[in-house]
Structure 1
Amino acid sequence: MRVSVRGSRVGGVAEEKAPSYEQAREELTEVVRRLEAGGLTLEQSIELWERGEKLAAICEEWLQGARVKLAAAMARRSEQGADPDAPF
C-alpha cells in the first residue's frame, strides 16, 4: 500500500494530508496501546488495526525518504573526496 506523505488529489477529491513522521509514530503508539489494553469490540479493534497499518505505512515512507536523502548526501561527500568518518 502506498500512502502519499505530502497529500494529493485523487479523482478530484483532495486526500487528507498525511501527518509528519513524529505525529504518525505518536498516533501509532496510541493505537497499539489501545489494542493491547483490550476491552474493544471486534469492529473497534479492526478499525484501530487498519488505522495502525496506515500509520505504519506513513512512517515507513518517511523513513525510506530519509534513507534515500542520507545515501545521496553520503555519495556526494564520497565524490568530493571527504573523509567518510568525518562528521557532517
Structure 2
Amino acid sequence: MKTRQAKAVNHLLDTRFEEHEFVITADIPDTKKDDLAAGIDLNTNKLVIKKNETVVARVPLPWDLVEPTRVWFHNDVLEIRVQIGAHQDDGHDK
C-alpha cells in the first residue's frame, strides 16, 4: 500500500491505495459540511477540495477517469474514495 502525506494550506492530507480504490483523507479543522466542495479539474486531472470557496488541496489522481465510491465527512475529517472509471483499464491483471 502506497501512502503520501502532505500539508495543504495547513491541512493534513493523506492518500493511499486500498484494494481497487484510491483514498484521499483530509483533516480540515473548524469546518462544517456545508463549507466544503470537491470536484475534479479535468484540465489537470486533480481532485480539488475547497473550503468556503478557497482551495485547500489539489490531489493528482492516478487514473484519467475516476468514479467516486464514497464521500464521508465527520469530526473535521473528509474522506473521498474513487475507483477507476468504467471505461478505462488500469493495466493490471484482474
Could you state the TM-score of these two structures normalised by the residue count of structure 2?
0.20
Structure with higher helix content: 1
Structure with higher strand content: 2
Q: Kindly indicate whether structure 1 or structure 2 has the higher relative contact order, using CA contacts under 8 Å at least 6 residues apart.
A: 1
Larger Rg: 1
Could you state the TM-score of these two structures normalised by the residue count of structure 1?
0.21
